[in-house]
Amino acid sequence: MEIKKGSTVISLVMGDITVEETDAIVNAANSRLAGGGGVDGAIHSAGGPKIMEECRKFDGCPTGKAVITTGGDLKARYVIHTVGPIYRDGSHNEAELLESAYRSSLDLAVKNGIKTIAFPSISTGAYGYPLAEAAGIAVRTAVHFVENNIGALSLIRFTLFSDAALRAYTEALKKLAS
């Protein structure tokens, strides 16, 4: 599914984010930027050691913020590493922090002249964020960003790794678009 807001397309696809050809892909990193499993591990192994070399120059990254590195050997020129919240019970600022992770990534993209960006479903793997809620926050934050930054980006894609994730994001985007 995709929608168009002004000149920006927001699209949902199923696939592996490490092969995306967008200017930047977003990594669901941890606050030490230390690499790990899930999409983080996949990005570092596909992108090679240059990405970690640049990650080491930062003093980690707080939850809800983002940093940018080279894309190394990836097709994407940049990787934006953002840290989503670990989900506890929903009363520990999780929603605000997840929204902030998406918004910080989008801000950083625009600052770096990036026009096309692909996101994974941040926090919904090892960090345990309920998928339907996370999907709602992700697509709402993208739509609000586009409304407040008209023409800044041409494509925001969510590259989802499972049928369940694609369904949840499709539901969320349909609700917003209706």
Closest contact distance (angstroms) between CB of 1 and ligand ADP is 17
Q: Which is nearer to ligand ADP, 40 or 114 (CB)?
A: 40
Provide the angle, in degrees to the nearest 10, between the axes of the packed helices 131-148 and 163-177. 50
Q: Does 159 bind ligand ADP (CB under 6 A)?
A: yes
Q: Which of 53, 44, 81 is nearest to 65 (CA)?
A: 81
CA–CA gap between residue 55 and residue 102 (Å, rounded): 19
Q: Does 122 bind ligand ADP (CB under 6 A)?
A: yes
Q: Does 123 bind ligand ADP (CB under 6 A)?
A: yes
Rg (CA), the chain: 15
CA–CA gap between residue 49 and residue 142 (Å, rounded): 30
Q: Does 28 bind ligand ADP (CB under 6 A)?
A: yes
Q: Active-site positions?
A: 40
Residues that bind ligand ADP (CB under 6 A): 16-18, 28, 38-40, 42, 84, 120-127, 159, 161-162, 165
